[in-house]
Chain A
Amino acid sequence: MGDLKLNYEVDGGDLIQAGEASSKMKMTLKKLGLPPEVIRRASICMYEGEINMVIHADGGQVEVDVGMDTITIRLTDHGPGIPDVDQAMEEGFSTAGDVARDLGFGAGMGLPNMKRCSDDMQIDTQVGVGTTVTMKIHIN
């Protein structure tokens, strides 16, 4: 039996619409009857990732793979890349612009939250090329 694959396109520059993909995924996971805590963690990972892609990378793609044991969320963008991943992982560090900050984003909690809510997180990034964040959430 194949895994469930979900694909979402995230538009850049639209902070109001951001979060739509994570809402859709959440509804799908509820239809599966996954434990609420797993759904919450997956949804936070995806929401924060979506926001990051909108603020920093002018959008991107999200692929979600739901298997019997693991949910894998892969966020791919063609943005500026992250020059210093360790610094970006620090709580409170953010390079978000004024517009995003005015809307209440840019608290520097995105990546740390994603790390905390996932069981495994990989960041592949190249300055000037883009970033791919892959998160795994174990179901059991």
Chain B
Amino acid sequence: MMKHSVILEYKRCRGCTTCIKNCPTEAIRVRNGKATILNERCIDCGKCIQVCPHKAIKSVSDSLEKLEKYQYRVALPDPSLYGQFQHLDDIDIVLNGLLKIGFQKVFETARAAEILSDYARHAISSGENKVMPQISSACPTILRLIRTRFPKLIPNVNPTITPVELAAILARREAVAETGLPPEEIGVFSIVPCSSQVTAAHTPEGLEKPVLDGAFAIRDIYLRLLGPMRDLEEVKPMTSAGIMGVGWACCGGESAARLGQSYLAVDGIENCINMLEEIEDGRLPEADFIELCACTQGCVGGCLTVENPYGARMRIKKLMKGLPVSRSRYDFRSGDRALVRVERELQYLPSFQLDQDRGAALEKLVKIEELERSLPGLDCGSCGAPSCHALAEDVVQGRASMEDCIFKVRERMQYMAGTGDADEYLPAPFRQRRVPGKKPEGGSRN
């Protein structure tokens, strides 16, 4: 079973239908007045966190108290963190600030990203046999989306680990060498822009075991950093990544660092889904590389960031201006060629399949289509499912009843009480006739 970091705070949830209508995988239902997440369908994209008007959906990142468990603590800041601060003209200020809030060492995720870019360029020029187009493996939400809905494209996914995973492996090695401490005394923590990276820290997609000890939300680190960043007495030079690494914070950065490939860089989860549909049908044969970022503008648009994605992007671009192109390379001589490769291929998770048995699934689908035809087709969400089709599917799967549909209730009430009476119990948009003596509000002007 998939583990998730997206959770609901029931006290705050009012059972409105905003989240169910916005969830790209139809993974949320409102039941008994509260939203519930269908675990196997959730891909941790964080869309619900962004749209919930009552802030009832959250991502549980690790508590900062976790730091106390380790003698030596390493921070792996995502490059999107650099875009959160107004008037910041030097990345070193952020990195030095991290040393003041409980970390003894900083390893930039951007540096690992740059190493991965270098590795990718070598792989491209060596003409290694690959299934084209290659799909980026950097966004864990996209990986989960492919696992559940686009199994045909699993072989297209780049067989390399994510930048933050590589950063964790390298940072722990460096820390062991520098301190002489055993690896388990060293706490390696990512500072991440989204719920999906929190989940990935604990349940990686391409590795057998987690390489991180936890993940903190940019949002939680941000306020703690502001003071120390302002009060720094000296700023030691610490940055180790160039334009190519920092560029991964925004959609298109990873692609650009592959140099000269024809690529598509797509942001926003719905756009990504549409693009995967097209690639699946072979409609973009000329593309070499597809970078898919679940969030608007890429990681800078993550649901755990502070600044809006466009502002953060602008600042990152400005910070990049003062950097060299690339500073970190993949060490091909060390003999550790497997370092950046995934340990296991993605596994297909058929969470949309109605039944293991094809005959039974077909029977269910026939039934779903039949039920759907008897529903109004308004996709109003009043039943707690995102669409009439989803309700029909829930009914057939035993998760809901046709009586959850307000129109079905009206039919029954009409049968029992007559047309007029039944109408008055329905919300205004669903009434068939006007209430006597009341003028319709709004509408025509004369």
Residues of A within 8 A of B359 (CB): 1, 68
Contact B352 A30 (CB under 8 A): yes
Q: Which of A40-48, A91-99, A126-134 contacts B (4 or more CB under 8 A)?
A: A40-48
B152, B355, B359, B393 — which one has the most chain A CB atoms within 10 A of its CB?
B152
CB proximity to B under 8 Å, residues A3-38: 3-6, 22-23, 26-28, 30-34, 36-37
Taking CB atoms, residues of chain B closer than 8 Å to A37 are 152
Q: Is the CB of B362 within 8 A of A40?
A: no
Residue of B281, B350, B352, B358 with highest tally of chain A CB at under 10 A: B281
Q: Does A66 contact B (CB under 8 A)?
A: yes
| Chain A contact residues: helix, strand, loop or mixed | helix
B374 within 8 A of A: no
Smallest beta-carbon distance A132→chain B, Å: 23
Decide if A43 touches B363 in the complex (CB within 8 Å).
no
| Interface residue B151 (Cβ < 8 Å from any Cβ of A) | yes
Decide if B356 is an interface residue (CB 8 Å cutoff): yes
Q: How far is the CB of B187 from chain A (nearest CB, A)?
A: 41
Which A residues are CB-close (under 8 A) to B358?
32-34, 68
Determine the residue in chain A with the shortest Cβ distance to B357: A33
Q: Which B residues lie within 8 Å of A34 (CB)?
A: 358
Q: Does B277 contact A (CB under 8 A)?
A: yes
Interface contact B369-A32, CB-CB below 8 Å? no
The contact string, 1 if C-beta is below 8 Å from chain A, for chain B 332-375, is 00000000000000000010111110110111011001000000
Chain B residues, Cβ within 8 Å of A68? 358-359, 362
Q: Is A30 a contact of B149 with CB atoms below 8 Å?
A: yes
Kindly report which residue of chain A lies nearest to residue B359, judged by CB atoms.
A68
A2 contacts across to B, CB distance below 8 A: 366
A-side contacts of B366, CB under 8 Å: 1-4
- For this complex, into which size category does the number of interface residues on chain B fall? 20 to 34
Query: Are A6 and B369 neighbours in the complex by a CB distance under 8 Å?
Result: yes
Q: B322: which A residues are within 8 A, CB to CB? A: none
Q: Are B280 and A40 in contact (CB under 8 A)?
A: yes
Q: State whether A4 and B369 are in contact (beta carbons under 8 Å apart), knowing that A33-B356, A33-B361 are contacts in the complex.
A: yes
Residues of A within 8 A of B350 (CB): 33
B324 within 8 A of A: no
| Contacts known (A23-B277, A36-B151); A4 close to B352, Cβ less than 8 A | no
Instruction: Check A40/B365 contact, CB under 8 A, given A31-B354, A33-B353, A34-B358.
Output: no
A43 touches B281 (CB 8 A): yes
Q: How far is the CB of A135 from chain B (nearest CB, A)?
A: 15
Chain A residue nearest to B353 (CB atoms) is A33
Instruction: Indicate whether B282 reaches chain A with its CB closer than 8 angstroms.
Output: yes
Assembly CA distance A43 to B152 (angstroms): 13
* Contact in complex: A31, B369 (CB < 8 Å): no
- Contact of B355 with A40 in the complex, beta carbons under 8 Å: no
Residue of B with least CB distance to A7: B369
Residue on B nearest A39 in the bound complex, by CB:
B152
Do residues B152 and A32 form an inter-chain contact, with CB atoms below 8 A?
no
- Interface residues as binary, B261-291 with A (CB distance below 8 Å gives 1, 0 otherwise): 0000000000000000100111100000000
- For B282, the chain A residues whose CB sits under 8 A away are 40, 44
- The digit string for B383-427, where 1 denotes a CB below 8 A from any CB of A, is 000000000010000000000000000000000000000000000
| A33-B281 CB under 8 A given contacts A4-B362, A28-B365, A66-B362 | no
In the bound complex, how far is the Cα of B352 from the Cα of A5, in angstroms?
19
Q: In whole angstroms, how far apart are the Cα atoms of A5 and B358 in the complex?
A: 16
How far apart sit A5 and B281, CA to CA, in the bound complex (Å)? Answer: 22
Chain B, residue nearest A1 (CB): B363
Within 8 Å CB of A44, what residues of B? 281-282
- The 10 residue pairs across chains A and B that have the minimum distance between CB atoms: A36-B152, A33-B353, A32-B361, A4-B365, A4-B366, A31-B354, A43-B281, A31-B352, A36-B151, A44-B281
Listed by A's residue number, 7 A-B pairs whose Cβ atoms lie within 8 Å are A1-B362, A4-B369, A32-B353, A32-B361, A33-B353, A36-B151, A44-B281
